[in-house]
Structure 1
Amino acid sequence: MSNEQQAITENQWHQAKLIWDYHQMHHEPRPVDAAIGLGSHDLGVAAHCAELYRTGLFPAVVFTGGNSPTTAKVFPRGEAVHFREHAIELGVPAEAILLEPTASNTGQNITLSREVLAAAGIRPTTVLLVSKPYMERRSFATARKLWPDVEILCASEPLEFDDYLKSIGDEKLVLDMLVGDLQRIIEYPKLGFAIEQEVPEDVHGAYESLNRDGFTSRLITS
């Protein structure tokens, strides 16, 4: 068994679950002026956007994202393009979807989506960010920094931690991603990329523990 596919221990699961819960904002969905579906490897973002659109929470959604090393093979025409197609397959009318096909990081997802909305004559006061479950808090902190005059809500597929682990099929990779996103929540405010978020002591302890255990492939280095 390769290192990338190793099973995690019970203690590592509990540490990761603490971080998983922290990453989610637990916002109550309600009507907003527009939604932004943040591109990634996870088509569940597009599916959840479609589900929320059908409930009438927003009249328009921007799918944003170009390609990254982890998505180029899966989504050869870009994350946003594939997300748009999937949402249309799930019943979202094409005219309700705006496309931002070039962003390569979360900051660009926000700033370029804002420009796309403005070009369409949409200047929202409330925006719903739809992301992977473990990316809610980081996307919130980024948007609050870059778009401070807009009220930001977050949503993701309502998956339990175990179900997400099964859906990805690689426990180590998921823990690497949880740790990597938490590092960015801690470090990005110092770089001006995001607002600060309080990290509870037990969550920080879980982060340090998983770092020591080698869940480090998604960490940024100075």
Structure 2
Amino acid sequence: MADAEGQQGVISDQAWRDAELIWDYHQMRHELRPCSVGIGLGSHDLGVASHTVGLYRQGLFPVMVFTGSNSPTTKERFPRGEAVHYREHALELGVPKEAVLVEPKAANTGQNAVFSRQVLAEAGIVPESVLVVCKPYEERRSYATFKKVWPEVDVVCASEPVGLAAYAEGIGDAKLVVDMLVGALQRVMVYPEPGFTILQEVPEDVVGAFRRLADSGFDSRLLPR
């Protein structure tokens, strides 16, 4: 993509190549297989709920959990909470209400895992495997978090099958999307040390792309120093 233009201006060719490299790294490319449950991680992106429903219709799991409260970026869009709005969307798409559980309190990915496990236990479900559905650039961090927090289950990750350019166009702000890619990668790299996630190898070219983007102003989603 020669120049990606979002609401924040034009992204250079080099920055876009770096963003695509990081986008590809975030993709786990797991082979989808039937799992005990599906878990849709709440966010600003209602496409996560839609994709979870699509996987349910493929017969990949018999019941789903939508998990998430609100963040500063979702309060206006989902005033009743991310998981609640996701559930309402799934019901509008025809999913029977008995197939949709809601976990409305989680404020981060670790809590998504812990609180979803509690909700499932209360429903009498002890899964052997979970299919985690999230935003495309959150697959790797979600996988690393669930493997750390919930090691006894087999974890499969999935997201909407879309490329970076199409995703940025759908969001309407290419600069913000690249910021989010950079922030997600930083968390993949630093969260293992405090024990939030498992350690994963990050190739040197991906680290280089991260540094160039962070140094050139794609930094609104970086952790505070």
TM over 0.5: yes
User: Cα–Cα, structure 1 residues 13 and 66, in superposed 2: closer, same or farther, change >3 Å?
Assistant: same
Q: How far did residue 86 of structure 1 move?
A: 0.5
CA RMSD, aligned part only?
A: 1.0
User: SS where residue 36 of structure 1 aligns?
Assistant: strand
Amino acid at match of 2:74: T
Amino acid at match of 1:15: D
Aligned partner of 2:183 in structure 1 is: 180
- d(CA) in 2 for partners of 1:36, 1:218: 24
Aligned partner of 1:93 in structure 2 is: 96
Matched positions, count = 220
User: SS where residue 7 of structure 1 aligns?
Assistant: strand
Aligned partner of 2:119 in structure 1 is: 116
Structure 2 runs not aligned, ≥5 long: 1-5
Match of 2:152 among 120, 134, 149: 149
Aligned partner of 1:127 in structure 2 is: 130
The 5 Å alignment of 1:1-222 reads: 5-222=8-225
What is the CA deviation profile of residues 25-75 of structure 1, one whole-angstrom value per residue up to 9, with x for unaligned ones? 001111000010000000000000110001110011000000110000000
- d(CA) in 1 for partners of 2:10, 2:75: 27
Amino acid at match of 1:96: A
- d(CA) in 2 for partners of 1:5, 1:108: 32
Identity %: 62
Amino acid at match of 2:43: S
| Runs of 4+ more than 3 Å apart | none
Q: When the two structures are superposed, what TM-score results if normalisation uses the length of structure 1?
A: 0.97
- d(CA) in 2 for partners of 1:143, 1:61: 16
- d(CA) in 2 for partners of 1:18, 1:173: 16
- d(CA) in 2 for partners of 1:29, 1:122: 21
- d(CA) in 2 for partners of 1:221, 1:190: 16
Structure 1 runs not aligned, ≥5 long: none
Q: How far did residue 21 of structure 1 move?
A: 0.4
- d(CA) in 1 for partners of 2:48, 2:59: 17
What is the CA deviation profile of residues 143-168 of structure 1, one whole-angstrom value per residue up to 9, with x for unaligned ones? 00001111100000001111001001
Q: How far did residue 175 of structure 1 move?
A: 0.6
Q: How far did residue 4 of structure 1 move?
A: 6.3
